[in-house]
A and B are shown apart, each in its own frame.
Chain A
């Protein structure tokens, strides 16, 4: 499926290039736009639309990393995020004081992330024993098992209602749930994980992982431990999903089984597919579209003459349309459009940009 191209421009020989010049212009434009965003948007938009998009984008990014570079479509990413969120609620502070341990954030958050990574690696260890389509089924089964377990279990997970009042720590005297502060916090982590994935995709580990995706037998013959690479990819993806999960818990100030229910679990897959799994920016585009649809679906649906509660229909049909016509998502559409523009219509289609 997705072919990740190594589009790094080779630096001109002889001339020393500063790091600022290496970054393409589009990155500067987007970065500056994102940084000055709070100057001209409302708190609601910052918190609800951008904050949420960044978080969902991070969780979908972890799926994109596994699927795009490792060829493993793992549906369990939202569950890993849920595990991290639950652990923060259980180890840290929440309104359910009988269960929450009330540990300080600098203990609770690292432990929560470690548990999430361990959980993700265990899932990875189980699912790398099989390949392709089986991965989807096994991770879907694990995700739903977690959902039903968290809903039934009252001693650790507080059952159906979960935990509320899970708030971010008041670090540096800032209320991190305020619109602007939360926007910057989620933006920071989204950029960090985006760059980490981008870096890793070109590092030896990422290249080996792509080799494993394309031809596991040849990689094994070359002396690479195929399964270890796959499990390590799961561990790395779990870290990103875990951070996303903690941010998600803080954003809604609560976590319940429904957060990692079967619907949200599938939604992450939809986000990644709509955005495209070729490049790490895809999941963020997908998340932005998803959040916009979810927030404004009522207006769209009413305009179409349907009831406001038909959101799932809208998202399902747009997902189907994307999968039918552009399996690479929005990014695939974009690439095709670019190719089409570069093509000289007088020549035959074989001679495209040289």
Chain B
């Protein structure tokens, strides 16, 4: 960080000022002129929170994608289908047993096993031919999408969270002052979103610890850097590959349950989340977990702020971020050249 500040003093200044303005906007009671120009603080805070929680969901999907790419150099275009599959499985489990929490491990295991099958029967057979792998996974995603449409129909499914997670929660952030009494009004926010966001942060930190502090993480990082050399040292790289693929796919399945809880699952969501994870990893940098986190936050916020403040051009904002990053840093924000 200090290195970055030394190398780019102007940019660090801009970042610090932007962060300060953002913090002030979050914590201060807004003066009248600001409300006149960009609307009420409640709208802003809601967009911010929605953006951050959506970013958490995008991170869950994209981190598996970027991990798989970083290690095996294969672009799994069926990643969105894994997300949707996880959502449907989570719905079935939560609906039939009544335990919302049970949906997560089941979706993780089932989708993870599916990922193992993909790795063994598709990717191992055509190792190193990345174009062919991409085409095959596009074909698989088409077939899976139609099979799921066949089985589940075109309806929207919603996974209902348990009672202790439903309803809003009062936060400590002030949205305004009551005119009549002068009391402060606090922001209310759905508790389930906050819990899920906290969980995705925890998963992110867990992944970081796993990658940087454990022996398995060391194997994975070595594989990312030079997988031929790693296999030459005697590590069983195919097992590492299968494990990472299962983990990445399982994360996509868990993300499907999360997405089904705070949005809904329906045909077409697979493509939406595939694209979201594509944009996130293009912006954040291929194969980088912190990059995926930054990219997911940026894209989630851009989507929410865009849809609140300039509704017809919301997509363009997301796209613009991608274009700017590509134009100035083609390898992504935290990607390696």
Contact = CB atoms under 8 A, between A and B. Distances in A.
A69 to B, nearest CB: 15
A149 B314 CA distance: 8
A138 B145 contact: no
B198 interface: no
B316 A149 contact: yes
Interface stretch (A12-20, A206-214, A237-245, A307-315): A307-315
Contacts of A145: 315-316, 318-319, 322
A162 to B, nearest CB: 15
Interface in B98-115: none
Contacts of B275: 140-141, 144, 262
Interface stretch (A56-64, A150-158, A165-173, A246-254): A150-158
A158 B203 CA distance: 43
A73 B131 contact: yes
Nearest to A149: B315
B319 A269 contact: no
A132 B130 contact: yes
Interface string A114-148: 00000000000010011011101110111011001
Interface of A: 1, 73, 126, 129-130, 132-134, 136-138, 140-142, 144-145, 148-149, 152-155, 262, 266, 269, 273, 310, 312-313, 315-317, 319-320, 323-324, 327
B134 to A, nearest CB: 6
A133 B137 CA distance: 13
B66 to A, nearest CB: 12
A312 B142 contact: yes
A348 to B, nearest CB: 27
A305 to B, nearest CB: 14
Nearest to A150: B315
B326 A138 contact: yes
A317 B143 CA distance: 7
Contacts of A319: 135, 138-139, 142
23 contacts: A1-B131, A130-B331, A133-B75, A133-B134, A136-B75, A137-B75, A138-B322, A141-B319, A144-B275, A145-B315, A145-B322, A152-B312, A154-B312, A313-B146, A313-B147, A313-B150, A315-B142, A316-B139, A316-B140, A316-B146, A319-B139, A320-B143, A323-B135
**From A73, A144, A153, A269, residue with most partner B Cβ within 10 Å:** A144
B132 interface: yes
Contact of B136 (A140, A266, A312, A320): A320
Range of interface residues on chain B?
35 or more
A155 B146 CA distance: 34
A129 B326 contact: yes
Contacts of B314: 152
Contacts of A323: 132, 135-136, 139
Contacts of B131: 1, 73, 132-133
Nearest to B328: A129
Q: Is the interface of A mostly helix, strand, loop or mixed?
A: helix
B323 A312 contact: no
A220 B11 CA distance: 33
B132 A141 contact: no
Q: Top 7 nearest A-B pairs by Cβ distance?
A: A316-B142, A320-B139, A316-B143, A129-B330, A145-B319, A312-B146, A148-B315
Contacts of B75: 133, 136-137
A141 B278 contact: yes
Contacts of A130: 326, 330-331
A121 to B, nearest CB: 14
B192 interface: no
Given A141-B279, A323-B132, 17 more contacts: A130-B326, A133-B130, A138-B326, A141-B278, A141-B282, A144-B271, A148-B315, A152-B315, A269-B135, A313-B146, A315-B142, A316-B139, A316-B140, A319-B138, A323-B135, A324-B136, A327-B135
Nearest to A159: B312
**From B130, B275, B279, residue with most partner A Cβ within 10 Å:** B275
Contacts of B132: 323, 327
A152 B318 CA distance: 14
A258 to B, nearest CB: 12
Interface string B111-135: 0000000000000000001111011
**From A132, A145, A317, residue with most partner B Cβ within 10 Å:** A145
A142 B319 contact: yes
A176 B257 CA distance: 52
A307 B319 CA distance: 38
B327 interface: yes
Interface string B137-166: 011101101110110000000000000000
B319 A310 contact: no
Nearest to B315: A148
B17 to A, nearest CB: 29
B291 to A, nearest CB: 14
A342 to B, nearest CB: 27
A132 B134 CA distance: 11
A227 to B, nearest CB: 12
A8 B111 CA distance: 52
B95 to A, nearest CB: 25
Nearest to A306: B150
Contact of B271 (A129, A152, A262): A262
Nearest to B311: A152
A266 B316 contact: no
A327 B75 CA distance: 17
Contacts of B146: 310, 312-313, 316
A130 to B, nearest CB: 5
Contacts of B319: 141-142, 145, 149
B57 to A, nearest CB: 18
Interface string B258-292: 00000000000001000100110110001000000
Contacts of A142: 319
A57 to B, nearest CB: 19
Nearest to B135: A323
Contacts of B323: 126
B139 A310 contact: no
Contact of A140 (B129, B278, B316): B278
A327 B143 CA distance: 18
A315 B327 CA distance: 36
Nearest to B141: A316
